[in-house]
A and B are shown apart, each in its own frame.
Chain A
């Protein structure tokens, strides 16, 4: 697995998003995010709600509100910077065609008054110019959406089928990058597993997948690499195998998050994340960290070698981690 900038489907460098709030307050929703996703690879961006991961996804799609300010770059396919491309370019050539979006709540993503078939037909016509029942059936089949349910309306579908219909729509443009924003929220465990397995299948066909989730079990099942976000910063990027297995995560926050799972220690990390509008000078996690010392509270750790921590847990980086850090 070699990853370099040219081969990456998406290459994000130093991406920051600030929100200017009423009263002149600034909120640092995302700070200095660096990562890349290669074809056939799945990167899971994990973190608790409010850590900035959804803002990051919106920034990539150009869907931030007017009071947001972005810096850095997010180069798609080596030729287009998503942060500077205008709305016209994003709407005409990027969304649907080069980035397929698998939405958080498929029921809300589908038009309630039109059948799945009508929506697939329209998207097919728009994105590929192809018409005809055969193409619709084929598009549905790619997301394992049953052909005999095509004439149903979204409210007549179960949560799982609605998710497949939304995925079928996302796949039509044959986009090289799939972006899934919390695709499993509110789904049952079985459905979560089916959904992520299907997303994995699409990744194995050569697409790049960026999945944003707070569900660590789903991330473990699908991801090649994991990026952990805390208080707007990516604090660790690691290969999924060693991260979830041995030797485990290197950042104390990531370790805490895994230990909180009911299948592990079921022990919460003490305290709560800091406000994004009032981040401390040092490490944002220091106040909750058992390993923190004076340095942690004064000096913000740089993101280096796939880790932003003064006291990384397992110290040593695996071979592929070095690679991950190199392209980050």
Chain B
């Protein structure tokens, strides 16, 4: 037993590799979207009709699109926009969700019931549909997409935070704080919120890839960003025509640019969840 106990567990090693890969990809992506655009010699918008729909080559590693723009550069720009939309939308949704969940959970009673009925109603509507409805009310642009994604994604966070607050609220240490004279606000700010922040943060990270997909879906449907703006969804959308003609690269590369970073983000979030969620009792079981 002593020997086997000392050998590192196989599960732990694969998990480390997975996390390391995810972190590497995310760092690379962050560097790419921050550094490439200012350094790029080519203009991503540069139309070159003589060069249209070239397959991948040394000059254009990802090939060119149907108006001759360099796809690698378009993909980096697209990722930049999608990532920005994903991050801002996920953060906004998390702030809204945490606030609503924490208030509902700590007040309880009828405010909680009202809020949770609203949440139930909202979540019974498919959220892509709700998102389409929201973007349709604005002129196409980055902000309507962010608002649409944020307003449809706070619900799950609110649920998580509320249930977490409810379970914390009945813990004797909250009773002890109340007995020690802590005000309502102090109980929420000092004792309840810090307890739920790891969960809310995790929800936020998990939501970034989700929000990126959402942005892409909206853009793919032609409801998201204006067509000239290189978001990943727009790139895939505009490549549909050439795909039917047998030109695979304008679809494949933007698709990979969406899938790989989102998987990497989800990988990091998953590792984080493993750390905070089944809080192993203690390394030492005394």
Contact = CB atoms under 8 A, between A and B. Distances in A.
Contact of A84 (B1, B9, B285, B286): B1
B46 interface: no
Most chain B CB within a 10 A radius of its CB, from A54, A69, A83 = A69
B286 A52 contact: yes
A70 B5 CA distance: 9
A54 B285 contact: yes
A81 to B, nearest CB: 9
Given A66-B9, A69-B6, A19 B283 contact: yes
B1 A67 contact: no
B280 to A, nearest CB: 8
Q: Which interface class (under 10, 10 to 19, 20 to 34, 35 or more) fits B?
A: 10 to 19
Interface string A51-62: 010110010001
Contacts of B283: 19, 21-22, 65, 67
Contacts of A86: 1, 4
B176 interface: no
A66 B5 contact: yes
B2 interface: yes
A318 B203 CA distance: 65
B285 A65 contact: yes
Contacts of B285: 54-55, 58, 64-65
B185 interface: no
Contacts of B284: 19, 21, 27, 29
Given A27-B284, A65-B283, A70 B2 contact: yes
Interface string A63-83: 011111111000000000001
Contacts, number: 41
Contacts of B286: 29, 49-50, 52, 54-55, 276
A142 B280 CA distance: 36
Interface string A96-117: 0000000000000000000000
Contact of B5 (A50, A68, A276): A68
A22 B283 CA distance: 9
Interface string B1-28: 1101110010000000000000000000
A131 to B, nearest CB: 35
Contact of A64 (B5, B6, B9, B280): B5
A68 B4 CA distance: 10
Nearest to B284: A19
Q: For chain A, what secondary structure do more than half of its interface residues adopt (helix, strand, loop), or is it mixed?
A: loop
Interface residues of A, number: 25
Interface string B275-286: 000001001111
B281 to A, nearest CB: 9
Contacts of A58: 285
Contacts of A52: 286
Contacts of B1: 62, 70, 83-86
Interface in B247-286: 280, 283-286
Nearest to B280: A65
Contacts of A19: 283-284
B167 to A, nearest CB: 17
Nearest to A67: B283
Nearest to B9: A66
B172 to A, nearest CB: 15
Interface in A15-57: 19, 21-22, 27, 29, 49-50, 52, 54-55
Nearest to A21: B283
Interface in B183-201: none
Contacts of A84: 1
A86 B2 CA distance: 10
Nearest to B6: A69
Contacts of A276: 286
Contacts of B2: 69-71, 83
29 contacts: A19-B283, A19-B284, A21-B284, A22-B283, A27-B284, A29-B284, A29-B286, A49-B286, A50-B286, A52-B286, A55-B285, A55-B286, A58-B285, A62-B1, A64-B285, A65-B280, A65-B283, A67-B5, A67-B283, A69-B5, A69-B6, A70-B1, A70-B5, A71-B2, A83-B1, A84-B1, A86-B1, A86-B4, A276-B286
Instruction: Please provide the 8 A-B residue pairs with the shortest distance between their CB atoms, ordered closest to farther.
Output: A50-B286, A19-B284, A69-B2, A83-B1, A66-B5, A70-B2, A27-B284, A67-B283
Interface of B: 1-2, 4-6, 9, 280, 283-286
Given A22-B283, A58-B285, A70-B2, 17 more contacts: A21-B283, A27-B284, A29-B284, A49-B286, A52-B286, A54-B285, A66-B5, A67-B5, A68-B5, A69-B2, A69-B5, A69-B6, A71-B2, A83-B2, A85-B1, A86-B4, A276-B286
Interface of A: 19, 21-22, 27, 29, 49-50, 52, 54-55, 58, 62, 64-71, 83-86, 276
